Structure 1
Amino acid sequence: MNKSILITIIILVSLTFTGAKLFISDKTKSSVIESHLSISERQKLSDKFYSDKKLGAFFENGKTHFRLFTPNAENVSLVIFDKVEDENGKIYEMTRDENAVWETSLEGELFGKYYNFIVEHKNQKPVVCLDPCAKAVASFNTYFTPRKGIIIKEDYYNWDGDEWIRKDWRDLIIYEMHVRDMTEHPSSGVKERGTYKGLVEKDKTGGLSYIKKLGVNAVELLPSHEFANIEIPFKKELRGKLNTWNPYERNHWGYMTAAFFAPESYYSENTRNIKWNSWSGADAKAVTDFKDMVKAFHKEGIAVIMDVVYNHLSEYEFGNLKEIDKEYYFRLNEQGDFIAESGCGNDLRTEAPMLRRLIVESVLYWMKEYHIDGFRFDLGKLLDWETIETIIYEAKKINPDVVFVCEPWGGGYDPAGFSLRGWGAWNDQIRNGIKGENPFNGLGWIFGQWYGNNNPQRIKSYVNGTLVRDTLGLFQKPEHSVNYLESHDGYTFGDFIRLATKSVARDEIIRDVDSFVKLTPLQMKLNKLGALFLFTSRGITMIHSGQEFARTKVISYDLDVPDAHKGMIDHNSYEKDNETNYINYKHAEINKELFDYYTGLIELRKKYSAFRRAKYEDVTFHEIKKNPFAICYEVKYKDEHFFVAMNANQEITQHFSLPKGDWEVLVDNLKSGVKPIKVVKNKIEVEPTSGIVLKKK
């Protein structure tokens, strides 16, 4: 298109961002593609549109350019606001090129201005939409969350020579965590609680100082793209939707992405509660705060991995891709309704070429602009294989060591398929095999039970990375297996054990959480045994925040919220921006023995390559008779020689004969680390629900 013939039409318009007039239902229909065709036929035709033009809002050659891709819209306009609260904006006509890119250019820099696109479809009212490529976002905190993009200056930040933390995947010890939860509790001792800045304040009880003390070398942030903090009213119908399940009316974890290129603005606000009916993020401060956070972690040698959600879009919002072009960007049935295998109201059509491009460019943007070291993909199996392959291929051009792991489920289950493509995947097999699937009737190995098809051979296969060379193995390489016992989903490992040992009932009200969190001797042994198996197995090691002190998630009792489960243990705390989720560092002191055990295991794994780099042939299992829940093996790697024995039988003390020589005890049922506890020879006993690690002297 010849831009010189564009005539820009400027119109003053009154727009109200707090009312329903801005937004309509998401029943968008195709206009450009022939309507008599089926949905699948129309989508196939729309896939022929493709453009390499830079999209979004950006400054270049003295002008600020705006571009949006939508093949089915009849008209698109740009609206610019001087202030975030402005209801009056200037509208600029946009022109569609031959590849369905709508564009206009304005003279000069417009940094600090706010903008939206007004998208019109045939027989539909215009909808004010957020730019899907917005680099910063201001959000009005109310139901359906109206948003405005912010035009920002890019490539200005002083990284002080910072580069990616480039680690061999086998060496990763990942700490899965939520930005706000790590410092929002008063016990964290930080000034800027619940924020990116607070997370990296120096010499505090919580946040980065605590993470350094623990010793992990990577953090995995729960979703930190701009997301929907607010869901829909509880038991009050609004725009045809009725919420009967979430009395908190909140989304705390972040798995409802609103903007793929912008950091979550709530984490730049030092506030105890979200401020309803007010604008959040209008200063675009989150852009710099996020970069400062990454730089601070990198200075401590800690990699930053982002949990990202590219399989669906925020469900309870209007004015996003659903209204920009529902038919192009989403998987639909032949009635034009959303397919929602994600369970989140919609599934993105990642196989659409321009959506694939958006996803890839989002990943690369976070790598280049924010120095992100890796990514964990939510419900990875909902993305098509071509997109999965393109992402890792393009990302490795920039950083060959970039980390890609995923949940290998959602629309199927295929960890082996991800491994074949060089991706890592969460290994739910080791999780269920060692811990169990649920604490009521699905206990695993550490309890002296077999869950599902687990048996002694499967337990051995987990030690070596759950490789395809073993029966029911999943992975081509050990470093494709993300070994874990706890994540944000489900019960914490500590609570799983409390419930499994019947120390508490599922529906029991707990009022004194400080007393409840303290572990009994049996609970302590079970926590330690699970941790010992995890940290001595090949693969990527991941723990969830608080696992190291058997964190509990008791639902806050003294809340003015109509939650029938207050005071009980939670297994799905996605909606709770309260002490249910906040890390209470007093509890780390209460269970300091377990915290110290984790720090010792982390130190052991980091110091000795055998637990990270040993090959399949370097591990020799010893036969154990009459105790299927005991496991014993030697691992030799270069000049390192270890003897590892674990006994998950809750009744039997297991006797193990040792190979010749003197052996230093580095781990027993009380302590762990790299300093010898004592020296033994010939034989050793391992108590029920315990384990040991010996090093050849």
Structure 2
Amino acid sequence: MYIQVDERKRTDVLSTTYYQDNSDNLDDRLEQFVQSPVFDKKYSFDGELGALYTPQRTILRLWAPTALSVEVIVYESLYRKEKKRHTMGKGGRGTHELIMIGDYAGTAYKYAITFPDGKVVETVDPYSYATTANGERSVIMDAVNTNPKRWGARLEPIASPVDAIIYELHIRDFTISPTSGIANKGKFLGVVEQGTLSADGDKTGLDYLKELGVTHVQFLPMADFSTVNELKPLEQYNWGYDPQNFNVPEGSYATNPYQPEVRILEMKEMIQGLHDAGIRVIMDVVYNHVYLPKLHALEKTVPGYYFRRNEDGTLCNGTGVGNDTASERFMMRKYIIDSITYWAKNFHLDGFRFDLMGIHDIETMNEIRIALDEIDPSIIMLGEGWNLNTNLPPSEKAVQQNADRMPGVAHFNDALREAIKGSDFDSGNDTGFVTGKPFMEGWVATNLQGGAYYPANRGNYKEPAQMVQYVEAHDNLTLYDKLKISMPW
């Protein structure tokens, strides 16, 4: 094996002279520059990124236009010490590249990025598709080794999304009960165990889902998240809305989080088991924010670029968790599209639920729709089209009021939810149609017409497939608790 550095001449990278001439307030100047349209125009890159593996060679390619240099740290094994560092060559439009000749499947690596102020940052690959436990190192993976037996083509396309009956579940909660009768409690594999019963003799696992008669299962986030120790998964609890590695399955749901390929294989086996039962899979994706920006690979590789800012330079917080991603920037949009298509192609997913979709821009959602149509036009796109306080013009937000400009993208219809049972806010005391609130019949009927004659200030729907009708989801009160609080008798 040997290493080949790509030393193509690079004329479009920020020069050392630029850094020397602008050393005062360098961080502020660079941050303003990377957020400008000029930066996107000059450095946006539309090629493949990450570890591009074949048995003959692996190309590592990173987009880091503001870096002076980048080294690849290669480790002796998945969990042993550093073995060697290799300087990456400078490619076009802000990329850095290293070609490694030979079979590097299973090799752990990270990047060491040197910035103009002399600061050196170590990070995983933002385009990691496999990692060690807790996402601490990227791993080069041969995807063929992660496919289950009988892993074949996608399911046949569904006739219409309006026929979808969606059941939402959390992988851990679905099977974790001591009385679930499931062997692989809290794991991907536990979801599709068959012939299992509760202590009361009720069906559990896959048999329960089949008994429900649903067409789709929508899983709360299954991609790698930050706040559960994958090696001690029962010590913490989280739904998964704190993204870490967007393209890697969550290790706490695997039977062996130490081995990178196991979580990938077992997630695919879960999807295959559901497909064999005629049940399709929707993945809840959380591209609108990260857990801690300063510790995330996106911010480490190109500081200041991937997150949206207010006019005063502070991070936007429309998500309510301290940061909003900037989907309107070319490379953030590309990142989301690349990630979605990776999951759709490699895991045969049938739909995506976009958390806080109103943080994203319309063009990004439409580009995702186009990319998914090339894979399977029946893949469902649905999301929370709430109008959130982020630094994006209202006309560009992917919200209900702009639904007419996002064909093929559905929105949760919170108006029907509140009409039926009342608002969950203000302690949940508000009532709705089913709890005796007067004069609600007309509003309920309007919400059941699939967008026809609907007030545009609530949602500008053009077809029934753009409305997700529901009365309960994982957020806010359960239907039972809501009714118990608000019932007037």
Question: Counterparts of 1:181 and 1:283 in 2: how far apart (Å)?
Answer: 23
Q: Decide which of 423, 428, 435 is 2:421's aligned counterpart.
A: 435
* Counterpart check, 1:148 vs 2:137: yes
Residue 90 and residue 461 in structure 1: after superposition, are their counterparts in 2 closer, same or farther (change >3 A)?
Answer: same
- 2:449 aligned partner: 464
Question: Counterparts of 2:116 and 2:127 in 1: how far apart (Å)?
Answer: 24
Counterpart residue type for residue 372 of structure 1: L
Q: Decide which of 137, 152, 161 is 1:161's aligned counterpart.
A: 152
Residue 440 and residue 5 in structure 1: after superposition, are their counterparts in 2 closer, same or farther (change >3 A)?
Answer: closer
- 1:401 aligned partner: 378
1:554-573 equivalences in 2 (<5 Å): none
Q: Decide which of 88, 91, 96 is 1:102's aligned counterpart.
A: 96
Q: Decide which of 30, 40, 65 is 1:71's aligned counterpart.
A: 65
Question: Counterparts of 1:153 and 1:471 in 2: how far apart (Å)?
Answer: 49
Deviation digits for residues 430-463 of structure 1, max 9, x if unmatched? 011111113643221111115xxx7332111122
1:526-675 equivalences in 2 (<5 Å): none
Deviation digits for residues 500-531 of structure 1, max 9, x if unmatched? 237xxxxxxxxxxxxxxxxxxx8xxxxxxxxx
Residue 154 and residue 33 in structure 1: after superposition, are their counterparts in 2 closer, same or farther (change >3 A)?
Answer: farther
TM-score normalised according to structure 2 size:
0.84
The offset of 1:284, in angstroms, is: 2.5
- In the alignment, structure 1 segments of 5+ residues that lack a partner are 8-29, 141-145, 232-247, 271-279, 503-521, 523-697
The offset of 1:267, in angstroms, is: 0.4
Counterpart residue type for residue 424 of structure 1: A
- 1:256 aligned partner: 242
Q: Decide which of 290, 295, 309 is 1:318's aligned counterpart.
A: 295
- 2:392 aligned partner: none
Question: Counterparts of 1:458 and 1:472 in 2: how far apart (Å)?
Answer: 14
The offset of 1:319, in angstroms, is: 4.8
- 1:54 aligned partner: 48
- 2:327 aligned partner: 350
For the 8 Å contact 2:5–2:97, the answer to whether it is kept is no
Secondary structure at the aligned position of 2:85 is classed as strand
- 1:417 aligned partner: 402
Q: Decide which of 82, 88, 91 is 1:88's aligned counterpart.
A: 82
The offset of 1:332, in angstroms, is: 2.6
Secondary structure at the aligned position of 1:368 is classed as helix
For the 8 Å contact 1:111–1:153, the answer to whether it is kept is yes
* Counterpart check, 1:376 vs 2:353: yes
Question: Counterparts of 2:366 and 2:71 in 1: how far apart (Å)?
Answer: 35
The offset of 1:249, in angstroms, is: 9.2
Kindly indicate which of the two structures has a greater share of residues assigned to strand.
1
Secondary structure at the aligned position of 2:143 is classed as coil
Greater radius of gyration (CA): 1
Kindly indicate which of the two structures has a greater share of residues assigned to helix.
2
Deviation digits for residues 359-403 of structure 1, max 9, x if unmatched? 111111111100000100011111111111100011111101110
- 2:195 aligned partner: 203
Residue 215 and residue 463 in structure 1: after superposition, are their counterparts in 2 closer, same or farther (change >3 A)?
Answer: same
Residue 432 and residue 470 in structure 1: after superposition, are their counterparts in 2 closer, same or farther (change >3 A)?
Answer: same
Question: Counterparts of 2:21 and 2:218 in 1: how far apart (Å)?
Answer: 42
1:197-346 equivalences in 2 (<5 Å): 197-205=189-197, 206-230=204-228, 250=236, 252-269=238-255, 280-315=257-292, 318-333=295-310, 336-346=313-323
The offset of 1:50, in angstroms, is: 2.0
The offset of 1:160, in angstroms, is: 4.1
Question: Counterparts of 1:37 and 1:298 in 2: how far apart (Å)?
Answer: 51
The offset of 1:336, in angstroms, is: 4.6
For the 8 Å contact 1:228–1:251, the answer to whether it is kept is no
Counterpart residue type for residue 401 of structure 2: A
For the 8 Å contact 2:6–2:90, the answer to whether it is kept is no
- In the alignment, structure 2 segments of 5+ residues that lack a partner are 8-17, 198-203, 390-396
1:128-147 equivalences in 2 (<5 Å): 128-140=122-134, 147=136
For the 8 Å contact 1:219–1:304, the answer to whether it is kept is yes
The offset of 1:124, in angstroms, is: 5.0
TM-score normalised according to structure 1 size:
0.60
The offset of 1:227, in angstroms, is: 1.0
The offset of 1:61, in angstroms, is: 7.4
Question: Counterparts of 2:265 and 2:4 in 1: how far apart (Å)?
Answer: 36
How many residue pairs align between the two structures?
Answer: 447
Deviation digits for residues 541-590 of structure 1, max 9, x if unmatched? xxxxxxxxxxxxxxxxxxxxxxxxxxxxxxxxxxxxxxxxxxxxxxxxxx
Residue 395 and residue 254 in structure 1: after superposition, are their counterparts in 2 closer, same or farther (change >3 A)?
Answer: same
Deviation digits for residues 454-492 of structure 1, max 9, x if unmatched? 733211112222434568662211121111111111111
Secondary structure at the aligned position of 1:490 is classed as coil
RMSD of the TM alignment (CA)?
2.8
